[in-house]
């Protein structure tokens, strides 16, 4: 997850607090030492308690696939791996390969296995998770959550999933999956105008709305147990 560090026009600097909350990392800001939940981006202790960071849309994919789509990207790289970092990498590999959670589930929800990946979206009091396995099969969903029309899509070439706002230029669009183009980019077509859109970034590449872009909405790619720990009343698709 990626958050803006700006709160009330003030830029904050964060560090790892060395603890977890509901199976998620806790970090602190150096200005007030308030504790923040990494999963929901909200301060849970200190002067900023109840304040939320703005979630910025991001994508989890491989470096190879990212570089292919964005060749001029700037990458952050460390020159060497310390013994502690190597130990943490090995621990993470073991964790990802196992069926166990870090601290156990706070909310046991048997609709999915605990460590099945889901794409989650929360807006106001409404939360919904989309099984990545189902999303890979179905490609896209046209949904309305908390009165917001959304497009949920899975882009196979980058193994990434995104949620877009379907409201464009004063019109609610409905999408159908059209398959990959000659470059392997997954394409969807809106029923209303017949315009073609890239699932990678929501850009219209052909048709009446060519050049328009669907707004990417902030979402969470997480384990099912982590999502339900924070959103116990979530819907599931």
Looking at residue 64, what is its pLDDT? 85
CA 225, 231, 232, 234 dihedral sign is negative
Kindly tell me if the per-residue pLDDT of 24 is higher than 80. Answer: yes
Long-range contacts for 213-216 (Cβ within 8 Å, ≥24 apart)?
A: 214/151, 214/164, 214/165, 214/166, 214/168, 215/164, 215/165, 216/57, 216/162, 216/163, 216/164
Spans of all domains in the chain: 2-56, 57-79+96-237
Kindly tell me if the per-residue pLDDT of 87 is higher than 80. Answer: no
Kindly tell me if the per-residue pLDDT of 186 is higher than 80. Answer: yes
Kindly tell me if the per-residue pLDDT of 98 is higher than 70. Answer: no
| Banded model confidence at residue 212, pLDDT cuts 50, 70, 90 | very high
Give the tens place of pLDDT for each residue, 132-179. Answer: 999 999 999 999 999 999 999 999 888 899 999 999 999 999 999 999
Closest CA to 165 of 185, 136, 190, 134: 190
Looking at residue 151, what is its pLDDT? 99
Q: Which fold has domain 57-79+96-237?
A: Rieske Iron-sulfur Protein (2.102.10)
Give the tens place of pLDDT for each residue, 138-148. Answer: 999 999 999 99
Beta bridge partners of 19: 26
Give the tens place of pLDDT for each residue, 105-120. Answer: 567 899 999 999 999 9
**Mean pLDDT across the chain, nearest whole number?**
89
pTM over 0.85: no
| Banded model confidence at residue 82, pLDDT cuts 50, 70, 90 | low
Instruction: Compute the distance between CA of residue 157 and CA of residue 124 in angstroms, rounded to an integer.
Output: 32
């Amino acid at each position: 997850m990626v958050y803006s560090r700006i709160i009330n026009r003030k830029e904050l600097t964060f560090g790892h607090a060395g603890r977890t909350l509901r199976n998620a990392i806790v970090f602190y800001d150096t200005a007030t030492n308030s504790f923040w939940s990494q999963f929901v981006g909200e301060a849970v202790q200190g002067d900023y308690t109840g304040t939320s960071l703005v979630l910025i849309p991001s994508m989890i994919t491989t470096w190879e696939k990212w570089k292919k789509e964005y060749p001029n990207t700037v990458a952050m790289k460390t020159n060497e791996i310390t013994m502690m970092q190597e130990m943490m990498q090995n621990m993470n590999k073991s964790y990802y390969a196992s069926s166990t959670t870090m601290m156990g589930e706070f909310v046991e929800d048997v609709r999915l296995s605990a460590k099945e990946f889901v794409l989650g979206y929360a807006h106001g009091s409404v939360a919904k998770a989309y099984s990545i396995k189902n999303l890979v099969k179905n490609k896209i969903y046209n949904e309305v959550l908390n009165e917001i029309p959304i497009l949920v899509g899975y882009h196979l070439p980058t193994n990434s999933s995104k949620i877009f706002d379907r409201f464009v230029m004063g019109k609610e669009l409905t999408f159908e999956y059209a398959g990959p183009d000659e470059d392997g980019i997954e394409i969807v077509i809106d029923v209303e105008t017949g315009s073609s859109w890239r699932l990678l970034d929501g850009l219209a590449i052909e048709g009446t709305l060519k050049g328009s872009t669907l707004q990417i909405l902030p979402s969470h790619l997480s384990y099912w147990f982590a999502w339900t720990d924070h959103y116990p009343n979530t819907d599931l698709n």
